[in-house]
Every structure is written in structure tokens, then in C-alpha cells.
């Protein structure tokens, strides 16, 4: 199995007596888009700073592409592009000039830098405003330029901290598509920190739910919903008529159906397994008309809220 590109091994960061990051163990595979999801103060930024070698862990080990971030921060910075929530540009300089400036700081020869800057400006859809001063760019344009900027040094990993903050919905859609495209075309590993559940769900292969410095759960949206919705992993919505008492009893008797809720001409069935084929069969055989049957997936929103509801009820926040 290939070695993970990001490895955190029992990492802690303490400020005074408080854990900002509490024994965090996490590995991210090359080419993955991983979403670090959590409320304010969860420890996301602290984790990112330790990955970049900008903050030293109190204990534990942080490695990026096999390089120890604490011992070799300069080497790590060559491999990782970091886009904070609002990257500053020189406003009196154009988009192209800003990228060339970054290239010079990273020791990239001018000829190569020019080619790369043009190529990246095209990729992030800013070629037509490449010669406009960045002071006149919108927030969405600045974030796309930020992405081009972190890609100038050809990193293996990019870390994006709340990258869509303050961008309008169309801009967000474009930005997320761009990240996905870069991930596919350039095989870049992406770590995306956010508290926008919906956005994370759209592009991340895997998600970690982070609270009070601890990783509470991690996995694909599907595996998280399986972990958290144990008994009713599948939610099946059925439109049929008539919905007689007898039919409901037959549906309740299907193995793995936990609960049937009726709402006028439709029903919601909460099931342990996907039994939609059996449900259709039982309805048709009962003589009722089946108008529609749809499997609803639990989104991250439901996963997240369910998780916290459960924890509050247990009193172990
Ligand atoms: N330099 C510091 N000194 C003391 N405490 C700090 C410092 N930096 C962070 N903290 C504390 O560590 C905890 C985690 O903060 P962090 O910024 O990593 O959270 P976050 O998940 O990134 O939140 P946000 O989404 O608000 O940026 C918070 O309780 C914060 O107050």
C-alpha cells in the first residue's frame, strides 16, 4: 500500500492548559480531497499550521510526503501550497505580475515562470484579466488567483483554509469545480478546511469531523452515515395510494424495515438495508398504485447534526 502523503501521529498542541489539538491521528492518501470539518475553535487552523511547520506540536509527529514538518519546515514548504482564507496580493500589480513575483520568491527561472503563470491563469479562468491590477479584482477572482499562486511552485499538496468565504454562490460553484479539476488533472492532494457542510460534501472524497481538538469521526459521507445512523441507514420515500392500514402493516413486517411514517399520499420508511425492491413488490401486490419510490441519502448536514444531538444527549460534549 502506498505511504500516505499527510500523516499526523498522536499530535497535540497545548496553549497553557488547553488542548487546541488533542491526540490527533490522521492519514491522507495521495490524490485524495479530504475535508476537515468543524465549528469555530475546533483546531483546524492549528492543525494546518503544524502541517506547514509554522507551529510546533507539543507532542506527536507530523509528516508531509515523508518529511517531518517540525524538523524540516523549509523542505515541507516546497511541497505544500497554502491558501489562507484571504491571501493578500500587491494591489498595484496585475494578476500576472503577482504570480511572477511569487515565482521569483520561490527561485523559479523567469522563462519557466512566464509559461506557468499563463497556463495557470488560463486554468483558473483569469487569462482575460491577467493584466488588470488585483486591487480591482472581486473576492472570487482573488481566491482563484490565490489558487494559481499556490500552484506556481508545483506543490504535491494544497491546503485551503475556508477558501470560499465571502464568495457568491456562482463563484463558489466555479471554485469547487476548479479544485476538483486540478485534483483530477494534476493529481494534487487537497486538504480543505471548512464549516460549510454542503460544500465539503460536493467535492471531498473523505471527511473528518473535528471538534474541541479531537477527530470525532472520519470516512466517506456514506460510511459516516452508516456509523451514525446504525439502525436506519436507508431512508426510502414512497408515493402510493391508497395507503391502507393493512398495507402499512405488511410494509412494517418486511425484514430490515424499522419504521414507517405516513404523510397523506406518501410514506417514509427507515430501513437497515436497502429493501426498496421488496417494498415496491409488496405495494403492487396489495393492489395499491405506486407513483414513485426514491432512496434518500443522508447528507453531511444530517450526519453532523445527528452526531452533535447524540453527544449532547449523552452529556459528553
Ligand atoms: N496562539 C494561540 N494562543 C492561545 N490559544 C490559541 C492560539 N491559537 C489558537 N488558540 C486556541 O486553540 C483553539 C483552536 O483554534 P483554531 O484557530 O485552530 O480553530 P479553528 O478550528 O481553525 O477555528 P476557526 O474556524 O474559527 O478558524 C481555540 O480554542 C483557540 O482559541
Confidence at residue 317, expressed as pLDDT on a 0 to 100 scale: 36
Confidence at residue 10, expressed as pLDDT on a 0 to 100 scale: 95
Q: What angle do CA 215, 307, 209 make, to 5 degrees?
A: 25
Output the CA 192–ligand 1 centroid distance in Å: 17
The tens digit of pLDDT for each residue in 182-192 reads 899 888 999 99
Q: Is 94 in the pocket of ligand 1 (CB under 6 A)?
A: no
Burial class (CB in 10 A: 0-12, 13-18, 19+), 238: buried
Output the CA 59–ligand 1 centroid distance in Å: 17
Pocket test for ligand 1, best of 8, 15, 35 (most atoms within 8 A of CB): 15
Interface pTM, i.e. ipTM: 0.94
Please tell me the least confidently modeled range out of 131-145, 199-213, 269-283. 199-213
Give per-residue burial for 97-119: e unless 16+ CB within 10 Å, then b. Answer: bbbbbbbeeeebeeeebeebbee
Please state which CATH number belongs to domain 6-225: 3.40.50.300
Please state which CATH number belongs to domain 230-297: 3.30.70.100
pLDDT higher than 90, residue 69: yes
pLDDT higher than 80, residue 224: no
Confidence at residue 228, expressed as pLDDT on a 0 to 100 scale: 67
- What residues does each domain of the chain span? 6-225, 230-297
Q: Is 35 in the pocket of ligand 1 (CB under 6 A)?
A: no
Please tell me the least confidently modeled range out of 72-81, 158-167, 196-205, 260-269. 196-205
Q: Is 116 in the pocket of ligand 1 (CB under 6 A)?
A: no
Confidence of residue 306 (pLDDT cuts 50, 70, 90): low
Write the residue with the smallest CA distance to atom 24 of ligand 1. 40
pLDDT higher than 90, residue 160: yes
Confidence at residue 312, expressed as pLDDT on a 0 to 100 scale: 47
Q: Is 13 in the pocket of ligand 1 (CB under 6 A)?
A: no
Atom from ligand 1 closest to the CA of residue 45: 22
Average confidence score pLDDT of the chain: 88
C-alpha span between 218 and 146 (Å, rounded): 28
Say what percent of the chain tops pLDDT 90. Answer: 55
Q: Is 43 in the pocket of ligand 1 (CB under 6 A)?
A: yes
Q: Is 208 in the pocket of ligand 1 (CB under 6 A)?
A: no
H or E element that contains 200 = helix 197-203
Q: Is 46 in the pocket of ligand 1 (CB under 6 A)?
A: yes
Output the CA 83–ligand 1 centroid distance in Å: 18
Please tell me the least confidently modeled range out of 38-42, 81-85, 289-293. 38-42
What is the mean pLDDT of the segment spanning 113-117?
Answer: 96
pLDDT higher than 80, residue 231: no
The tens digit of pLDDT for each residue in 255-290 reads 999 889 988 789 999 888 889 999 999 999 999 999
Write the residue with the smallest CA distance to atom 6 of ligand 1. 15
Amino acid at each position: 500500500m502506498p505511504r500516505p502523503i499527510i500523516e499526523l501521529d498522536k499530535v497535540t498542541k497545548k496553549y497553557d492548559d488547553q488542548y487546541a489539538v488533542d491526540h490527533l491521528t490522521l492519514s491522507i492518501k495521495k490524490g485524495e480531497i479530504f475535508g476537515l470539518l468543524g465549528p469555530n475553535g475546533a483546531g483546524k487552523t492549528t492543525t494546518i499550521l503544524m502541517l506547514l511547520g509554522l507551529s510546533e506540536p507539543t507532542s506527536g509527529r507530523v509528516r508531509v510526503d515523508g518529511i517531518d514538518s517540525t524538523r524540516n519546515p523549509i523542505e515541507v514548504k516546497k511541497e505544500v501550497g497554502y491558501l489562507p482564507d484571504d491571501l493578500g496580493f500587491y494591489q498595484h500589480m496585475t494578476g500576472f505580475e503577482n504570480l511572477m513575483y511569487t515565482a521569483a520568491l520561490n527561485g523559479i527561472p523567469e522563462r519557466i515562470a512566464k509559461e506557468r503563470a499563463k497556463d495557470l491563469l488560463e486554468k483558473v479562468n483569469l487569462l482575460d484579466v491577467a493584466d488588470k491590477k488585483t486591487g480591482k479584482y472581486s473576492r472570487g477572482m482573488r481566491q482563484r488567483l490565490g489558487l494559481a499562486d499556490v500552484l506556481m511552485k508545483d506543490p504535491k499538496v494544497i491546503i485551503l483554509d475556508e477558501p470560499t468565504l465571502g464568495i457568491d454562490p456562482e463563484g463558489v460553484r466555479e471554485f469547487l469545480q476548479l479544485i476538483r479539476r486540478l485534483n483530477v488533472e494534476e493529481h494534487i492532494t487537497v486538504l480543505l478546511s471548512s464549516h460549510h457542510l454542503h460544500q465539503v460534501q460536493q467535492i471531498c472524497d473523505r471527511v473528518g469531523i473535528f471538534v474541541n481538538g479531537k477527530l470525532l469521526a472520519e470516512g466517506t459521507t456514506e460510511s459516516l452515515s452508516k456509523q451514525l445512523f446504525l439502525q436506519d441507514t436507508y431512508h426510502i420515500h414512497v408515493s402510493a395510494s391508497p395507503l391502507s392500514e393493512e398495507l402499512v402493516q405488511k410494509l412494517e413486517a418486511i425484514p430490515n424495515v424499522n419504521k414507517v411514517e405516513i404523510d397523506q399520499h406518501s410514506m417514509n420508511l427507515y430501513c437497515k438495508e436497502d429493501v426498496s425492491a421488496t417494498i415496491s413488490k409488496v405495494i403492487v401486490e396489495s393492489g395499491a398504485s405506486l407513483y414513485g419510490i426514491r432512496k434518500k441519502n443522508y447528507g453531511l448536514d444530517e450526519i453532523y447534526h445527528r452526531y452533535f444531538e447524540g453527544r449532547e444527549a449523552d452529556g459528553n460534549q
